[in-house]
A and B are shown apart, each in its own frame.
Chain A
Amino acid sequence: SAVISQKPSRDICQRGTSLTIQCQVDSQVTMMFWYRQQPGQSLTLIATANQGSEATYESGFVIDKFPISRPNLTFSTLTVSNMSPEDSSIYLCSVAVGDSSSGNTIYFGEGSWLTVV
């Protein structure tokens, strides 16, 4: 298994500002992902955080809005830039752990609940 710590757990942000969310894992993992969950919705994948290279973004998400860093195998950050009320969401970090031959187990952090006012 993996223990994932996310910071902050909750924040209220002013429109137009940026906030960086940190994700720390208690073991080295190859694959890390960032998801967004808007109020009342399911989870949507933002990007795969690649160690040593640029993140791979899903359709509808761009690096300028959601820059991601992955400096090593245990840590990643997601920045939500120039926030608007539409960015109010829970942002979740997740990691893949285990046996790739049968498919990795995916674990999630507790999430960072951002409210933009």
Chain B
Amino acid sequence: SQQGEEDPQALSIQEGENATMNCSYKTSINNLQWYRQNSGRGLVHLILIRSNEREKHSGRLRVTLDTSKKSSSLLITASRAADTASYFCAPRGNTPLVFGKGTRLSVIA
């Protein structure tokens, strides 16, 4: 399946620190998308990285993609309390998105 598996399952950091989350998958993909979900809410699309891209930036977010290792990472720099949420990666080929358990990030003020 194209389900991504996020690691770690939970991460707790101090405000101002950087947070790194990893994603592994098993099949070939067209792109990989990262999402944030605040408790009880919908998913917010953060960033899309295409299979021919290796790195992409958006504000405080930096995403890398290594298709040879079938892995991706999401780095949030200078974290804020408002970044507290669950983060999901979604490898995408030609089928609907399948989600793993996500990484639960807690940013402590």
Q: Are A105 and B50 in contact (CB under 8 A)?
A: no
Bound together, the chains give a CA A48 to CA B33 distance in angstroms of 19
Bound together, the chains give a CA A2 to CA B90 distance in angstroms of 18
A90 contacts the other chain (Cβ, under 8 Å)? yes
Q: Are A105 and B43 in contact (CB under 8 A)?
A: no
Bound together, the chains give a CA A107 to CA B35 distance in angstroms of 9
A42 contacts the other chain (Cβ, under 8 Å)? yes
Interface bits B86-109 vs A (CB < 8 Å: 1, else 0): 001010110011111110000000
Interface bits B32-52 vs A (CB < 8 Å: 1, else 0): 010100001111110010110
| B-contacting residues, A28-73, CB 8 Å | 31, 33, 35, 42-45, 48
Q: Are B93 and A103 in contact (CB under 8 A)?
A: yes
Instruction: Find chain A residues with CB under 8 A from B30 CB.
Output: 102-103
Instruction: Find chain B residues with CB under 8 A from A48 CB.
Output: 96
Instruction: Find chain B residues with CB under 8 A from A106 CB.
Output: 33, 45, 90, 92, 97
Closest chain A CB from B67 CB (angstroms):
13
Contact with A90, one of B40, B44, B90 (Cβ below 8 angstroms): B40
Contact with A33, one of B31, B33, B96, B102 (Cβ below 8 angstroms): B96
Least CB separation from B44: chain A residue: A108
Q: Are A102 and B42 in contact (CB under 8 A)?
A: no
Closest chain B CB from A115 CB (angstroms):
11
| B-contacting residues, A59-117, CB 8 Å | 90, 92, 94, 102-111, 113
- Residues of chain B having any CB pair with chain A under 8 Å: 29-31, 33, 35, 40-45, 48, 50-51, 88, 90, 92-93, 96-102
- Residues of chain A having any CB pair with chain B under 8 Å: 1, 6, 31, 33, 35, 42-45, 48, 90, 92, 94, 102-111, 113
